[in-house]
Structure 1
Amino acid sequence: MTRALTFEGAKVLRPDGLTGGSVCVEGDQIVERGGRQVDLSGYLVLPGIIDLHGDGFERHLAPRRGALANPLAGLAALDAELGACGVTTAWLAQFWSWEGGMRAPAFAREMATALQNYPALADLRMQLRLETHLTDQMDEVAEFVRSSGIDYVVFNDNLPHRALEAGKVPPRLTGSALRSGRSPEQHLAIMQAAHARGAEVQAALGRFVSQLPGVTFGSHDDATAERRACFDDLGAKIAEFPMAAEAAVGTVVMGAPNVVRGRSQHRNLAAADAIASGACLALASDYHYPSLAQAAFKLMSGGMRLPEAWALVSAGPARLIGLADRGRIATGARADLVFVEEDTLRIRGTMAGGRWTWLQDDMMQRLLTVD
C-alpha cells in the first residue's frame, strides 16, 4: 500500500459530478484526510475501471498458437497492461468448453490455480464462460465454481447448430480442430455429441444455477428475445453483447471496442445504439483492454458528459455486479483511481486498492517531489 497522500489541484469525478477539491488515500481506502500533498493541477482523477468481461489476457498466456506459456508469467504481463489501461478490477473470461485448447476444462482449472497463487496488483477474478450443451459435466462445473471462488458465470453456445442439424461439415472445422489438438474427425464427433444433448440443456442449466446461490449469471451473444427470455428465466439476468436490439433487454453489457470502432465487428447491434436507447448499463473490454477508456472518451467527444460516459466503465459495472466498495470516489470506498492528463486524456497513473499499478513521466515526477 502507498503511504497516506492527498492529491490536490485536479478535477475529481465524484458521485455528484466533476468537481475540484482533494482526494485523500491511506492504505487501501479513500479517507477524509490524508498525508503528504501532491499537486495534480491539469489532471482528472477518475474512479478505477471495472471490466466485467475480457479475454485479451489470452495473448499474454499464448502469444502464438501452441506456444502456451506459464500462466503465472502471463498474468504478470496482464497485470501491467491493465494498469496502463486504468483497469483496477477485471474478470478474465475463461471458457469451460468442448472446443479444447485454452478453452478446455483442464485449462480453466490451470487458470483458476494460477489466479489463486498470483499476487496481482489489480483485482483479478475469473468469469467462467460455460458452454451450455455440456450437460453431462454440470455437477463437475458447479463444484469447480464453488472450490475456485468464481462469482460470475456466463452461458455460451458456440456450436454450429445449423450445419450439424443438416448433417453438414461445419465451416472452418479443420482449423478449429488443429487449435484444439484433435483430428477433424475427433472434433466433429465431439460437436455432434454436444449438439445431440439440446433437449437436456434448459433443465440441466436450471439445476446448475440452483446449486450456486450468490453467483451472478449471464448469457452471451443472444440473437433473439426468446433466447434472452430463456436465460432470464434461469436467473441469468446479464445480457452480454446481445446481437440484436430485441435481445438487448434486462441488464445489458456491450463491448467497448464496438463503441470505438463505431459498429459491431460482425455487423450486429451497435453499442452506441444500445447506449442511446438506455439499454446498455456497462461496457466491457471484450478482446481489447485499451478500448474501455477510449470508448468513454469517444462518447464524450460525441456530446455525452464525462460522468455519464465514465459511469459505463466504472459505477455502472460496479452496480451491475454488486460491488458497493468501488466505482466511485467517496470516503470509505476502495482506493481505485485513474489519473488522466486533462489536455491529452492520456492515462498517467493508476492505483488499485491503494497500490500503484501504473506510473508515467510527469505523474511520477510529481510524486517524487512530495516534501
Structure 2
Amino acid sequence: MIFENALVLGPEGLSAQSLAVLDGVICDETDARSFDLSGYWIMPGLIDVHGDGFERHLAPRRGALRDLGQGLMSADAELAANGITTATLAQFYSWEGGMRGPEFARRFLEALKTADLLTDTRVQLRFETHLLADYSAFEELVAEFDVPYVVFNDHIPHDALAKGKRPPRHTGQALKSGRSPEAHLTLLQELHGRSEQVPEALKALAARLTARGVRLGSHDDDTPDVRAGFQAMGIAISEFPESLETAEAANANGAEVILGAPNVVRGGSHSGKVSAAEVIAAGHCHALASDYHYPALKQAVFRLVDDGVLTLEKAWSLVSSGPAKLLGLTDRGTLEEGQRADLVILNPETRRIEATLVNGQFSHLTGGVAARFLG
C-alpha cells in the first residue's frame, strides 16, 4: 500500500509526504495500490507499557466469564479502536485474590498464550513483594511463560495495620478475595509482620530475574529513598512515582519514569498524588501508560498539546518512541524506513482514530478511511 497526501508525524512535526508499506514494513517506495488520505494524519502506533483495562473484558461480572480467550479478543478490539498497536497487559500476582490472585494469573497466562489477537500483546506481571512464600512459585511461572516484564508492588495497608486497625474498605476487599473479613485481616497482619525480611529477599529475587533477562520496575514509589532502594537492586523503571521529587530523583539516577495517561486527562491524580502534567513539564517522564483506561493514551497527548505543555511530536513520543525504547523494542515507535508498519490514521477534526495497522495489517478500520479503502 501507498498512502498519499496525508500529513505524517515525524520528529520535527507533521509534514506532507507519501508513506509506503510492503510486507509489514515501512519502505521508501513500492509498486502497489495507492490510497488518497488527504485531510488525515498518519501517526506512529501507540505503545502501551502498562494497562489493566482488559480486566473488565475478562470479568464483566465477578465470576461470570469462564472463557478468557473470548474476553481477550474483546479487549483486542478495544485496543485496536484506540490506536494501540503494542499492548502490555498488567496482570496482578497478589494476596488480593480473585482476578488478582496467583491462580488467576496462571489462567490468564495460559489464555494469552493461545489467544488469536491482532494487537502485538505482551504481559507484565505485578508481583506483591510481601508474598515471601510465593517467591519460588512466581519465578517458576515467569520462566514457564517466558514473562518479559515484572513490576513490584506493595499494596499492603501498613499504616492501619501498624496501628492495630482494620484497613479502609476491608470487608469489600475480603469478599472480592473469597475470604472472610477475619481471615483476610489475619493474612494481612501476617504479611505486614514479615516486612523486615522483604528487602533482602526482594534483592535476591530481582538479581535472579535480571539474570534471566526480565525487565524490572517498581510501582507507586512514594519517596526518593524508596526509589533509591529499588534502583540499588537494579530495578530501573519507576511506574507512577507519587511526587515530583521522586520522579526527579528517579530520572537523575537513570531510571525510566512511567506516568498515567488518565492523570493527564483528568488534570490531576484521582488519589491526590502528583499531577502527571507537572512531572512531564519538568522533563521527568519517558512514557505514558493507559493504566485503567485505553482511550486515555490518545486523549492525554491532545490534552498536553492543547494546554501548551508539549508540542504534538513531543507529546506523541510519550506514547510511541518513548515506550518502545523503555521496552527495548527497536523495530517500532517511529515511521522511519525499515520500521514495522505499526501506525494509526487519525481524523484531525474529530481526533478519532479511523484506522490502525499492526505490522502492516489492519486491526481497526472505520469511518471515512474505510470508505476510501473500500470504495
TM-score bin (small chain): over 0.9
Q: Give the one of 306, 313, 317 matched to 1:311.
A: 317
1:130 match: secondary structure: strand
- 1: CA distance between counterparts of 2:156 and 2:324? 32
Residue of structure 1 in register with 2:288 after alignment: 283
Residue of structure 2 in register with 1:110 after alignment: 107
1:242-289 deviations in whole A, cap 9, x for unaligned?
Answer: 111121123111100111110100110100000000001110001000
Residue of structure 2 in register with 1:353 after alignment: 359
Residue of structure 1 in register with 2:335 after alignment: 329
Residue of structure 1 in register with 2:271 after alignment: 266
Q: Does 1:185 align with 2:173?
A: no
Q: Please list every run of 5 or more consecutive structure 2 residues that lacks an aligned counterpart in the other structure.
A: none
2:286 match: secondary structure: strand
Residue of structure 2 in register with 1:93 after alignment: 90
1:180-210 deviations in whole A, cap 9, x for unaligned?
Answer: 1111111111111211211111111111122
Residue of structure 2 in register with 1:243 after alignment: 242
RMSD: 1.1
Residue of structure 1 in register with 2:134 after alignment: 137
Q: Give the one of 105, 116, 120 matched to 1:119.
A: 116
Q: TM-score, normalised by structure 1?
A: 0.96
Residue of structure 2 in register with 1:29 after alignment: 25
Q: Give the one of 51, 58, 63 matched to 2:60.
A: 63
Call closer, same or farther: CA 1:68–1:191 in 2, change over 3 Å: farther
Q: Please list every run of 5 or more consecutive structure 1 residues that lacks an aligned counterpart in the other structure.
A: none
Instruction: Single out whichever of 109-118 and 23-32 deviates more from structure 2.
Output: 23-32
Instruction: Single out whichever of 299-308 and 285-294 deviates more from structure 2.
Output: 299-308
Q: Give the one of 3, 6, 22 matched to 1:10.
A: 6
Residue of structure 2 in register with 1:320 after alignment: 326
Q: Post-superposition shift, 1:16?
A: 4.3
Q: Post-superposition shift, 1:14?
A: 2.3
- 1: CA distance between counterparts of 2:188 and 2:64? 25
Instruction: Single out whichever of 128-137 and 62-71 deviates more from structure 2.
Output: 62-71
Q: Post-superposition shift, 1:345?
A: 1.5
8 A Cα contact 1:281 1:312, kept in partner: yes
Task: Name the amino acid aligned to 2:275.
Answer: A
Number of residue pairs the alignment of both structures matches: 365
Q: TM-score, normalised by structure 2?
A: 0.95
Residue of structure 2 in register with 1:19 after alignment: 15
- 2: CA distance between counterparts of 1:150 and 1:29? 26
Task: Name the amino acid aligned to 1:241.
Answer: F
- 2: CA distance between counterparts of 1:273 and 1:16? 24
Q: Post-superposition shift, 1:27?
A: 2.2
1:280 match: secondary structure: coil
Instruction: Single out whichever of 140-149 and 91-100 deviates more from structure 2.
Output: 140-149
8 A Cα contact 1:15 1:330, kept in partner: no
8 A Cα contact 1:315 1:326, kept in partner: yes
Q: Does 1:76 align with 2:82?
A: no
Identity, in percent, stands at 52
2:127 match: secondary structure: strand
